[in-house]
């Protein structure tokens, strides 16, 4: 008989399965979402994006089952994750994984599931993802303030993960607006998404300076954490995507001049923010290049190269729609190439790490340091 003290071998395999694993779902779904946003009409591309979305759905279901097993048999480890300032922010990834797969159901998944099933799936995942995201946006900063006792020198872009989750809701929620009854239901959902846009944007604006100051004054990040610099692109690209989707669905949902105002906001907000995103992209890429020269190997943080870049693809595509500029179309295609290359690399290394068992293994034991020996020299100095 299996007791709580001796969990099943399968349960032991997920003891160290942290919430950061949801980044694999986010990155995979981003390839599908970004691919459908491109200003390219290639049947083979849409079919490939649909297949990748189906893979993200399968990954989500597998991870939800594994994490349920983790919480059932390893609650001590789950609580330790919540109380760890380096791990707790990754609970925002659960929200974004649910939202990304739900959004993909409406954009490409409906080709295989049908529109009715896609709307139902997205409604469930959007509701659950938004609830989790809003809870994480409050709970994680609260824990950081009262339990984690973090220092300014510990600031990293990982802190943005629970804050950007409501922005993902803001960007993907408008996809459901046309499927609601006309009038109050549609307008309410749209303005709820605008409210989450503001919530996430303002929280990001007060957090990003701390991260930037740490980078400038504290020196380069540890090698394994260097890829997390790309996480800053998440709120930038996702907010640009959000204002673009607001402008797409606003006509007929909200009265003028608000519907026209959304179109103006999409350009006047999106263009400068995309400019800063490109600046940060170059800065983060330079840091990654330096880290590689210093021996940076693969870690799960490499998934930071995927979803944030995907948001910049959808943001650039939104700007292309609302400005008509070919430059933004070219930018979206170029960034998508970067996204696909990053996803293939991260996925291949992750699959290899899973097969070897390395990625699910616990941290190595800390060696016991020998007791210091005090030696007095002939001169009387102690060393």
Q: How far is CA 216 from the centre of its chain?
A: 24
3-state secondary structure of 226: helix
3-state secondary structure of 370: coil
Nearest to 274 by CA among 232, 236, 300, 303: 236
Residue-level pLDDT at 43: 83
Rounded to 5 degrees, φ, ψ at 296 are: -65, 120
Burial tier of 253 (Cβ tally within 10 Å: 0-12, 13-18, 19+) = buried
Q: How would you classify residue 362: left for phi > 0, otherwise alpha for psi between -120 and 50, otherwise beta?
A: beta
pLDDT in tens, 50-99: 999 999 999 999 999 998 887 887 788 878 888 888 889 999 999 999 99
pTM of the model: 0.90
The rounded distance, in Å, linking the Cα atoms of 115 and 113 is 7
Query: Structure tokens of 102?
Result: 């739900």
The rounded distance, in Å, linking the Cα atoms of 167 and 200 is 6
- Helices 258-293, 307-323: axis angle to 10 degrees equals 140
Q: What is the mean pLDDT of each run of 10 residues along the chain (383 residues)?
A: 47 77 96 94 91 97 90 80 87 96 96 96 98 96 88 89 97 97 96 98 96 92 95 98 97 91 96 98 97 95 97 98 97 98 97 88 48 45 45
The rounded distance, in Å, linking the Cα atoms of 274 and 242 is 13
Residue-level pLDDT at 362: 61
Rounded to 5 degrees, φ, ψ at 165 are: -55, -45
3-state secondary structure of 382: strand
- Helices 233-249, 184-217: axis angle to 10 degrees equals 160
Using an 8 Å Cβ cutoff, are 180 and 189 in contact? yes
Residue-level pLDDT at 84: 86
Q: C-alpha distances in angstroms, 70 versus 12, 75, 200?
A: 8, 7, 30
Within 10 angstroms of residue 42's Cβ, the number of other Cβ atoms is 11
Pinpoint the alpha helices (H) of the chain.
9-13, 22-37, 43-73, 75-82, 91-104, 110-113, 115-143, 161-172, 184-217, 233-249, 258-293, 307-323, 326-356
**What is the DSSP code (8-state) at residue 227?**
G
Rounded to 5 degrees, φ, ψ at 101 are: -70, -40
The rounded distance, in Å, linking the Cα atoms of 92 and 274 is 23
The string of DSSP letters for 151-198 reads -GGG--GGGGHHHHHHHHHHHHGGGGGGGSPTTHHHHHHHHHHHHHHH
């Amino acid at each position: 008989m299996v007791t709580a003290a001796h969990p099943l071998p399968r349960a032991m395999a997920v003891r160290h399965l942290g919430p950061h694993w949801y980044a694999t779902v986010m990155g995979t779904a981003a390839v599908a979402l970004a691919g459908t946003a491109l200003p390219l009409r290639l049947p083979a591309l849409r079919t490939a994006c649909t297949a990748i979305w189906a893979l993200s759905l399968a990954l989500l279901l597998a991870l939800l089952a594994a994490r349920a097993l983790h919480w059932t048999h390893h609650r001590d480890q789950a609580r330790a994750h919540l109380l760890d300032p380096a791990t707790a922010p990754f609970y925002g990834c659960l929200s974004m994984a649910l939202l990304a797969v739900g959004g993909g159901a409406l954009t490409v998944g409906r080709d295989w599931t049908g529109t009715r099933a896609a709307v139902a799936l997205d409604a469930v995942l959007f509701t659950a993802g938004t609830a989790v995201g809003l809870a994480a946006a409050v709970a994680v900063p609260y824990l950081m303030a009262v339990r984690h006792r973090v220092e300014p020198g510990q600031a990293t872009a990982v802190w943005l993960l629970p804050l950007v989750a409501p922005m993902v809701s803001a960007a993907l929620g408008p996809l459901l607006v046309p499927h609601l009854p006309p009038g109050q239901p549609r307008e309410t959902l749209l303005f709820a998404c605008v409210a989450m846009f503001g919530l996430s944007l303002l929280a990001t604006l007060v957090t990003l300076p701390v991260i930037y100051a740490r980078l400038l004054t504290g020196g380069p990040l540890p090698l394994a954490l260097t890829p997390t610099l790309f996480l800053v692109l998440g709120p930038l690209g996702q907010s640009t995507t959000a204002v673009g989707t607001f402008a797409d669905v606003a006509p007929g949902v909200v009265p003028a001049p608000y519907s026209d105002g959304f179109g103006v906001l999409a350009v006047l907000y999106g263009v400068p923010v995309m400019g800063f995103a490109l600046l940060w992209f170059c800065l983060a890429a330079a840091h990654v290049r330096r880290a590689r020269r210093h021996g940076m190997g693969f870690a799960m943080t490499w998934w930071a190269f995927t979803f944030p870049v995907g948001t910049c693809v959808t943001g650039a595509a939104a700007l292309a729609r609302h400005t008509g500029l070919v430059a933004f179309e070219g930018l979206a295609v170029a960034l998508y190439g970067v996204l696909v290359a990053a996803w293939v690399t991260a996925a291949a290394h992750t699959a290899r790490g899973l097969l070897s068992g390395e990625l699910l293994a616990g941290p190595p034991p800390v060696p016991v340091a020998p007791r210091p020996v005090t030696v007095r020299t002939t001169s009387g100095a102690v060393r």
